[in-house]
Amino acid sequence: MGAIVQRMPDENGVHIILCHGEFDAHSSGLLDRELREAAHERVSRVILDASQITFADSAFLSVLIAGHRALLLILAGPLQHRFAGLLATTRLDTVFHITLTLADAAEHP
């Protein structure tokens, strides 16, 4: 299975990005481009719908960390068990703001 990154229409200055599939060193650049564009446009925050990420490796985590440093980045779930486990193992679940749903992320200040 491949990776899909899709930017949704902005809502009140908020980027919403949907990620679907498996993300590794080859496919993580898809998200990296979207996050860099958002930082360049100086959006107020980015919500990443991470509910359909079935696999992620260290390259993808590096992209998330860079995005977190440059933007107010919120990960919206519910996260797939494997991805949630990776975030917990690396303790990045204590770094990123993770919400249970996309609706919860939209309400985050």
Q: pLDDT tens, 62-86?
A: 999 999 999 999 999 999 999 999 9
| CA separation for the pair 24, 3 (Å, rounded) | 9
Q: What is the crossing angle of helices 58-70 and 28-41, to 10°?
A: 0
pTM, full prediction: 0.93
What is the pLDDT averaged over residues 53-64? 98
pLDDT in the model for residue 23:
98
**What CATH fold (topology level) applies to the domain 3-107?**
Transcription Regulator spoIIAA (3.30.750)
Which residues are bridge partners to 8 per DSSP? 16
Q: pLDDT tens, 20-49?
A: 999 999 999 999 999 999 999 988 899 999
